[in-house]
Amino acid sequence: FSNRTYNTLWCEAHEELSCVLARELQEEPVRDRGKFFQRLATLYVLYLQIFRKLEEAYDQSVHPQKRRVMRRVLEGVMGCILELKNEMVENDFSEYHYMDDIIQDLKLIPEDLEIPVPRYFIRERNKELQEREEMFATLLNQMESIDNPEAMNPKLPNPSPLKLAVQNNEANRRMRQDEYEDDYQKSISSVTEMLREVEGQEMKEIMKYQIRQWFIECR
């Protein structure tokens, strides 16, 4: 694909997201449970198609400033998808939903409902794991050299105690960061649930407002 193709994807996603946001704001509350689920499922599918275009455009774009805006919009859309999925599960009491009629109405195929893992997730995670693996390999080699002085190459300078201490502190710091990140992620669910119960619709409106602001920045 050419750069122009991905610019087209970005513009299409931009326009479609604007339409979906406007549609959400204009819709009246629905009391019928079946109709309410149908509305949620339709929005879910629409946001999912926007997400797929945004992810493709972001992955191939080389413009740094535009990539930053794309990333923010992409993550905002991902948040909308998760929120809608949660509401669908709560409304339908199931993780699996019948949406064949929506697929037909939107002229889609079942594969269009698949959620790809964003490629930047994989790249960033692989880079982090590689750096961590290299760091621990270096530390292990240095520890083996200290435990077995005969195995050390006399032509190479011995690592100073200060350098070893710094590297050891770095390894410990990264492990603490991982532990803090795990604690943070565990707290996200409870905090999100609390905010949903307390603020409900207000949180949705804030998210929609933020996405609109991101679009304005990119124009």
Q: What is the pLDDT of residues 27-56, one digit of tens each?
A: 888 889 889 999 999 999 999 999 999 999
* 8 Å CB contact between 207 and 76: yes
User: Which residues, 6+ apart, have CB-to-CB distance to 131 below 8 Å?
Assistant: none
Cα(131)–Cα(177) distance, rounded to whole angstroms? 14
Cα(57)–Cα(192) distance, rounded to whole angstroms? 29
Q: How far is CA 15 from CA 73, 98, 152, 217, in A?
A: 13, 28, 64, 15
Residue 43 or residue 209, greater confidence? 43
Residue 60: exposure state from Cβ atoms within 10 A (0-12, 13-18, ≥19): middle
* 8 Å CB contact between 171 and 139: yes
3-state secondary structure of 92: helix
Q: What's the confidence (pLDDT) of residue 65?
A: 86
The confidence band for 26, taking pLDDT boundaries of 50, 70 and 90, is confident
Residue 215 or residue 113, greater confidence? 113
* 8 Å CB contact between 24 and 214: no
Q: What is the pLDDT of residues 76-114, one digit of tens each?
A: 999 999 999 999 999 887 888 888 899 999 999 999 988
- Asked whether the predicted pLDDT for residue 154 surpasses 80, the reply is no
Cα(129)–Cα(177) distance, rounded to whole angstroms? 14
* 8 Å CB contact between 40 and 100: no
Q: What's the confidence (pLDDT) of residue 208?
A: 56
> If we measure between CA atoms, which residue out of 123, 13, 12 comes closest to residue 77?
13
Residue 201 or residue 78, greater confidence? 78
Structure tokens at 61: 């774009």
Residue 204 or residue 30, greater confidence? 30
Q: Phi/psi at 39 (nearest 5 deg)?
A: -65, -45
Reported as half-sphere exposure (CB side, CA atoms, 13 A), residue 177 has a value of: 8
Greatest mean pLDDT range, 69-73, 89-93, 124-128, 145-149: 69-73
- Asked whether the predicted pLDDT for residue 213 surpasses 70, the reply is no
Mean pLDDT for the stretch of residues 137-148: 68
Mean per-residue pLDDT of the chain? 77
